[in-house]
Amino acid sequence: MTATAPAMSEARLYQQLRAHLGYLKLNDAADALPRVLDIARAEGLSLTAALERLLDIEVAATEARKLAGRLRFACLPEPWTISDFDFSAQPGVDEKLVRDLATLRFLDDAANVLFVGPPGVGKTMLSVGLARAAADAGHRVYFTTAADLAARCHKAALEGRWATCMRFFAGPRLLVIDELGYLPLPGDGASALFQVINQRYLKSSTILSTNVGIADWASAFGDATVAAAMLDRLLHRAAVVGIDGPSYRLRAHQRHADTLRAAAAARAA
């Protein structure tokens, strides 16, 4: 009876420990407890080392859940990262500048990034890559197209939710506005875009991609005053990345087509 008492006590302690972890909602640590105890016994870990390993599992799981939540909110169209971008395929991109932007130092200055160039050169992919880096670093990020932003603001104005809409777009540490100039904005679209940028001015960062050269904004948006005011705020603290090169997208399609043709030829042979 004396020999079994310590074992029973150990079993009770184990169950109490799991219950404590569950009560504190440290569920991943509770699930990992048997494994960590086995490792601690096999490797002769100290109590401090075993506890650190157990809590490290919980912290990693918590961070993964937080990242998943940030990515759901961000609405990124693709899971691209900067490492996915083939700089050798797009010589029109200033790789050194993009690598510097990927450090996210521009967020500390509430600076903006403008990707300017014709369709297909990689503007959206680079914008998403920087946005993903920001989300990975713990920042709140949101991605939208210029047309969707304008439509959302227009609907909010009609429904009496203008202030709420402005607060939403002012909130993220990084806002990505894609495809400016690809589709015509509604009548008040340029004004809505300006007000979003004005809300964020000197407070948080915006990435904007456009196929419209800066010199052509006044004519493209039909209001020289609004265009000038928008550019004044965007460019006050900004990195402008002009991309003048071959279509990155078409080159990727060509590589894919070549791969399929080679595979078909190999099967035929």
- Residue 46: pLDDT over 60: yes
Alpha carbon of residue 140 to chain centroid: 8
At 5, the pLDDT band (50, 70, 90 cuts) reads low
At 127, the pLDDT band (50, 70, 90 cuts) reads very high
Stretch 97-112: mean pLDDT: 98
At 1, the pLDDT band (50, 70, 90 cuts) reads very low
Closest Cα partner for 151 from 133, 137, 165, 171? 165
- Residue 16: pLDDT over 60: yes
pLDDT value at residue 7: 57
Q: Which CATH architecture has domain 82-251?
A: 3-Layer(aba) Sandwich (3.40)
pLDDT value at residue 242: 94
Read off the pLDDT of residues 150-181 as tens digits, 9 standing for 90 and up.
Answer: 999 999 999 999 999 999 999 999 999 999 98
Average pLDDT, the chain: 89
Stretch 202-229: mean pLDDT: 91
Question: Which sequence spans correspond to the domains of the chain?
Answer: 4-73, 82-251
Read off the pLDDT of residues 236-246 as tens digits, 9 standing for 90 and up.
Answer: 999 999 998 66
At 218, the pLDDT band (50, 70, 90 cuts) reads confident
- Residue 91: pLDDT over 50: yes
pTM: 0.84
Q: How far is CA 147 from CA 85, 167, 188, 208, in A?
A: 25, 19, 11, 12
Tell me, what DSSP letter sits at residue 215? Answer: G
pLDDT value at residue 255: 56
Q: How far is CA 16 from CA 12, 29, 47, in A?
A: 6, 14, 17
pLDDT value at residue 9: 83
Q: Residue 137 has which token pair?
A: 């670093």
